Amino acid sequence: MARPSATTVVIGALAGLTNVAAVLALYARAGYPTLESASSVAVLAVTAFAVGFLPVSVSAHTRLLAPAAGFVFVLGGTVSVELATPNPEWSTLDGYVIVDGPTHVASYANTWYVWLSLLLVAGGLEFAIRRGYGVGDDRLRNLPAFPLSRSELAWSVLGLGALVGVATTLLVLRAGIRPSVAAIAVLAVTTVVAAVPLAALYARGIVSPAILFALLVPYFLTIEVFVTTDSPVHILLFGPYALVLVLVWALESAIRSRLRGWDGGRFARENPT
């Protein structure tokens, strides 16, 4: 893959700086005590920059739409919700900061790893659909052709799946999952629930698991980010959902192969190593 051009880096940097400016402006509007600490502001700025820079750079470099569009959607939604709700009220008790009211922008900023993982997976799914089914694939740049080699397929599926797994694990640890050892199970089930639709799509062009993943998993992760729950242990339900995705994969594959003679098309015409 070619190195990103200077234009790509500049576009990504502008998106990163836009995100930093939006987050800091909303923090200042609500009077977050975080702004009183230079180190906390630095961490906030770096992570906010990454959330804008990485997905938009990927879109600029590859011409994939989902990473940049998803970033704009998430940032726009956060800003809209934050401006539509009253500012939180701050107080201290025995040296601890007490907050009363919604803190949507903090939830968005502090869970940057969730947004990065979902945006990159969205880009991975878009790439497979556009390249494999020829949907505007002539406009894609700096991306491999299908079929992928076994090693490319494995690294793509496991790498993107692991991103979602690690991000979700960090999220439930932040939410205080009990017992903490359950985080290991969360890592396993969320990696699998993301890897199954990727594997189905990359290996055979099967789309229904990806659709079901997109309809449910990002929604529940967003709820976990913005809504306080008694316990995030319900994320473990992604395990049974992964089994549902496997069954749907098998069902679509059987129907398409029997009724339409689907053999994998561009996804599986060759099987390079």
> ∠158-243-108 over CA atoms, to 5°?
60
* pLDDT at 177 (0 to 100): 81
Per-residue pLDDT at 233 exceeds 80 = no
Quote the CA–CA distance of 111 and 50 in Å, as a whole number: 12
Residues 133-159 pLDDT 10s: 999 999 999 999 999 999 999 999 999
Closest CA to 20 of 2, 44, 55, 38: 44
Residues 170-208 pLDDT 10s: 999 988 887 778 899 999 999 999 999 999 999 999 999
Q: What percent of the chain has a predicted confidence (pLDDT) above 90? A: 77
Residues 23-64 pLDDT 10s: 999 999 999 999 999 999 999 999 999 999 999 999 999 999
Q: What percent of the chain has a predicted confidence (pLDDT) above 70? A: 96
Q: Per the confidence metrics, is the pTM higher than 0.85?
A: yes
Question: If you search the block for the tokens 């494999």, which residue do you land on?
Answer: 132
Per-residue pLDDT at 99 exceeds 90 = no
For the ranges 53-67, 153-167, 255-269, which has the lowest average pLDDT? 255-269
Q: What is the mean pLDDT of the chain?
A: 92
User: How many other C-beta atoms lie within 10 A of the C-beta of residue 215?
Assistant: 9
Show me where the domains of the chain are located.
Answer: 1-110, 142-273
The stretch 110-132 carries a mean pLDDT of: 97
User: SS3 for 265?
Assistant: helix
User: In Å, how far are 76, 104, 196 from 111, measured between CA atoms?
Assistant: 16, 11, 24
CB 108 within 8 A of CB 225: yes
Two tokens, residue 187 = 């890592």
* pLDDT at 116 (0 to 100): 98
pLDDT band, very low/low/confident/very high, at 1 (cuts 50, 70, 90): low
First to last CA, the chain: 18
245-252: Cβ within 8 A, 24+ apart: 245/193, 245/196, 245/197, 245/200, 245/209, 245/212, 245/213, 246/196, 246/209, 248/208, 248/209, 248/212, 249/196, 249/197, 249/200, 249/206, 249/208, 249/209, 251/208, 252/206, 252/207, 252/208, 252/209
pLDDT band, very low/low/confident/very high, at 266 (cuts 50, 70, 90): confident
* Contacting residues for 98 by C-beta, under 8 A, at least 6 apart: 90, 91, 92
* pLDDT at 179 (0 to 100): 77
Please, is 76 exposed, middle or buried when counting C-beta atoms within 10 Å of its C-beta (0-12, 13-18, 19+)?
Answer: exposed
Question: If you search the block for the tokens 């938009």, which residue do you land on?
Answer: 56
Quote the CA–CA distance of 26 and 40 in Å, as a whole number: 15
